[in-house]
Amino acid sequence: MSQSNLEARLIAIRRHLHQYPELSTEEFETTKSIEAWLRKEGIDIRATSLKTGVFADIKGKNPGPTIAIRADIDALPIEEKTNLPFASKVKGKMHACGHDFHTAAVIGAAYLLKKHQRELNGTIRLLFQPAEESGGGADKVIKEGQLEDVDVVIGLHNKPDLPVGTVGLKSGPLMAAVDRFQVVIRGKGAHAALPHNGKDPIVASAQLITALQTIVSRNVSPFQSAVISVTKIEGGSTWNVIPDNVTIDGTIRTFDSVVREEVKERFYQVVENVAATYSQESIIRWFTGPPPLINDVNVTEIARRSARNLSLQVIDPEPSTAGEDFSYYLQKIPGTFAFFGTNGNEDWHHPAFTVDESAIIKAAYFLYKSAKNLLVEYNQSG
């Protein structure tokens, strides 16, 4: 298959996936399609107990290390507004984060690796992971055993603000840990004209929202980084009644595990103390998300060399406060996660999000070359 034919095939795959997006844990037809595309090239599918997701191996002529390449396959509950001729045909669902791009790129890398299978000393494992957007997919893949015997894992994410042909590779922290919180402030309702007869949770919540910002400004070192965002406030039902309760939702992002725990501890202290100051009760619900994504130094350097060999422009990207459950893999084994330029018009999770499809073939070759070079390096060092 020529490079131009491969590119056309990968674009067709991406467009098919884009038209039929499926949400986290619902990727049933996506799973069937990926399996069919891999089987057509003679790639061996691995058994799995997971209801969605595809895992496969390409074994070289000789034994050796195992390098995993990961793509996420789920979409988002967003109504598409791109006006593309291959726009989503499923109402209220869209590949607004480019997982269709990632999947097509890894399939392309798989085709190239299969073509050169006899040159490989080791195994390439393909991880088409479900449920990245819900945050639990990678953890399920690990618990199911798909990472067993894997020595290194690599992956990428499209980056709309980078031009096509640019790859961002950074050792150390690249993406943030993601935690979600919900706080209920329980006061006592009263008539708005008689606030002294109640315990106003709205006033207490207003003070709490302000106080939470001091955690970053006064408890986190200026040489570290953290974000606390309150994103939802719910309380009251009419204009002249003070409610009993107010609920506050939000998120915390950090790049360091120690800072993550310190911020959480301080968060609880601030919430409980502010509530007590206003003679109210607080209930905190904490939802732990993916850890910080920390790239391995050696693996990242090998990926850099691979990218340069392909004449891609390599940059040191600015870390993103977005989260990515690829970080669970990196807690288990070394690896690297790249940002790949797609010259998009809007950022992730926007209803008009698009990618420049000329980046797909470049991403496929980048993953192919990186995986091959990693096999060589780990054979020599192992």
Q: Which residues are annotated as a binding site for Mn(2+)?
A: 97, 99, 133, 157, 349
Supply the angle between the helices 3-19 and 99-115 in degrees, to the nearest 10. 150
310-345 CB burial, b ≥16 within 10 A, e <16:
bebebbebebbbebbbbbbbbeebbbbbbbbbbbbe
Question: For 194-334, where are the E strands, in sequence order?
Answer: 226-235, 241-242, 245-254, 281-288, 293-295, 313-315
Helix (H) or strand (E) holding 186, with range, is strand 177-186
**Annotated binding residues:** 97, 99, 133, 157, 349
> Is the separation of the CB atoms in 65 and 375 below 8 Å?
yes
Look up residue 216 and give its two tokens. 């970053």
Upper half-sphere CA count for residue 380 (Cβ side, 13 Å): 6
Give which of 104, 130, 133 is closest to 27, Cα–Cα. 130
Distance CA 380, CA 114 (A): 22
CB atoms within 10 A of CB 357: 16
SS3 assignment, position 34: helix
* Region of residue 25 (left: phi > 0; alpha: psi -120 to 50; beta: else): left
Q: How many CB atoms lie within 10 A of CB 83?
A: 8
Give the separation between CA 21 and CA 304, rounded to whole angstroms: 32
DSSP of 71-132: EE---BS-------TT---STT-B--S-HHHHHHHHHHHHHHHHHTGGG-EEEEEEEEE--T
